[in-house]
Structure 1
Amino acid sequence: MSNFLYLFRGGEKAFQKLSQEEKQAHMEEWGKWMGGLKEKGHLLDGLPLAENGKVVHNRGELVTNGPYAEGAEFVGGYLIISAGSLDEATEISKGCPIFDYDGSFVEVRQIMDLGEYV
């Protein structure tokens, strides 16, 4: 088994337009999806990310507010999952609730073992 990172992009504008009840229902869908991943032994970690942050350039010579990506590029959260292959991790991501409200995409990336580079 390998570990994979899901980066969730987009959907924030559509989510903000929902009523409080719709937001709650959507978050319950996330809870169900993530609970199912946990039950199957796939979910290792994951949380939403704050909208604000800092971007560090040139070893700290320049620090700017950010990130300020376009709506479709905005990274709203992440999960770390365990799967047998990139194909399996990709298949699992297709059930993600981000697609319910105009989420652009889930970026699926394998987390490499540093031992592979040393």
Structure 2
Amino acid sequence: MDQANNEFVFLFRQPDLSHNAENHDEIQKKWMEWIDGITSQGKLASNGLHLTPGGSVLKAGGVVTDGPFVEIREILGGFIVVKADSMDEAITLAHGCPAIDEGGSVEIRSVFV
């Protein structure tokens, strides 16, 4: 098995907030402040990508279904990659993530090389 390095992916799972357009600027500000805090510590390895709520899922046998997670009201909103010496440090960096305040979560995964 490959060995883990000191990078961790933060996957942001959160409710679909597309209906909450009036608070968009406030939510964006919270995200930028949180990411700026990680950046100022020299811990941001990649700003990752923001993902659209919908998509398609290809399953065995060529079956294609709409969206991921069509049966629940949670979306994978995006991800970033951070540098940390341990899972504990990565978890500490994840504290304060706006996805948590919005009723979501941050999934933290070590990157293998």
- TM-score strictly above 0.5: yes
Q: Percent identity?
A: 32
Is residue 107 from structure 1 mapped to residue 111 from structure 2 by the alignment?
no
AA matched with 1:9: R
Hey, which of these two has a bigger chunk of helix by percent?
1
Give the match for residue 50 of structure 2: 48
AA matched with 1:87: D
Structure 2 stretches lacking a partner, 5+ long = none
Inter-partner Cα distance in structure 1 for 2:84 and 2:51: 23
Aligned length: 107
Residues 20-52 of structure 1: per-residue CA shift (max 9 Å, x gap): 2x2201101101111121121211222221111
Inter-partner Cα distance in structure 1 for 2:62 and 2:49: 30
Shift of 1:17: 4.7
AA matched with 2:82: I
Give the match for residue 80 of structure 2: 79
Hey, which of these two has a bigger chunk of strand by percent?
2
Residues 3-30 of structure 1: per-residue CA shift (max 9 Å, x gap): 1111111232xx345352x220110110
